[in-house]
Amino acid sequence: MVEDTENFLSFQEASQLVAAIQEEENIHQQDRRILTVYNHDDQELCWFDFAELVQAVGPGPKEEQQAAVQNYILHHIPAWAKDL
């Protein structure tokens, strides 16, 4: 995953834009999970590979890991997502 903060929304903007983060099956690869991000109109904004994201946030208790994943996603919403 490439980290370039200039291409991401601020945490505040992302928090206002994102309505849901849903774990789903990757339709292109069986046995692979993705986290799809939706806005308040139920429109898909972007998605993250579940395994890569869990690796990025590191191990931990389930509740802490869920919060870490959500926090990571909200810090990595592409700037172009607000134009959808």
Nearest CA to 39 among 71, 4, 14?
A: 14
- More confident: 50 or 28: 50
Question: What value does the mean pLDDT of the chain take?
Answer: 91
Domain count of the fold of the chain: 1
Residue with tokens 């931990």: 60
Q: How far apart are CA 33 and CA 84, in angstroms?
A: 24
pLDDT above 70: residue 1 = no
Range of the domain at 49: 5-83
Distances (CA, A) of 50 to 16, 19, 57, 70: 23, 18, 11, 12
| Per-residue pLDDT reduced to its tens digit, 37-70 | 999 999 999 999 999 999 999 988 988 999 999 9
Specify the pTM.
0.86
